């Protein structure tokens, strides 16, 4: 963890995690996901936007999947929260 992940590496993780859920969502949601990834790739939105979009899709259609349980998708992991 001595080096920060690149935008391309984040995109690979997001696309891999979304692979199974995209078959379970509507065509409109798939189109929205594609737009969000494109916007992130072009540096128009921060990483939290595709993370949040994927997290919501996963929790709705596959809440028990391995991908839905990944802390990577939490914009504020529990260890960083101040309650």
Q: What is the pLDDT of residues 5-64, one digit of tens each?
A: 999 999 999 999 999 899 999 999 999 999 999 999 999 999 999 999 999 999 999 888
CA distance 67 to 2: 24
Count CB-CB contacts under 10 A for residue 2. 3
pLDDT at residue 82 greater than cutoff 60: no
CA distance 45 to 32: 14
Sequence-ordered list of residues with C-beta below 8 angstroms from that of 41, at least 6 positions apart, any chain: 7, 11
Could you tell me which of 19, 17, 27 has the C-alpha nearest to residue 52?
17
Could you tell me which of 29, 51, 27 has the C-alpha nearest to residue 40?
51
pLDDT at 1: 63
pLDDT at 81: 46
pLDDT at 83: 47
The band of 75, judged by pLDDT with boundaries at 50, 70 and 90, is: low
């Amino acid at each position: 963890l001595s080096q920060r992940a690149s935008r391309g590496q984040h995109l690979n993780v997001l696309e891999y995690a979304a692979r199974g859920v995209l078959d379970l969502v509507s065509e409109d949601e798939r189109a929205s996901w594609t737009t969000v990834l494109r916007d992130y790739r072009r540096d128009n939105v921060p990483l939290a936007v595709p993370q949040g979009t994927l997290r919501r899709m996963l929790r709705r259609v596959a809440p028990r999947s391995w991908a839905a349980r990944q802390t990577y998708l939490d914009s504020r992991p529990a260890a960083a929260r101040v309650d």
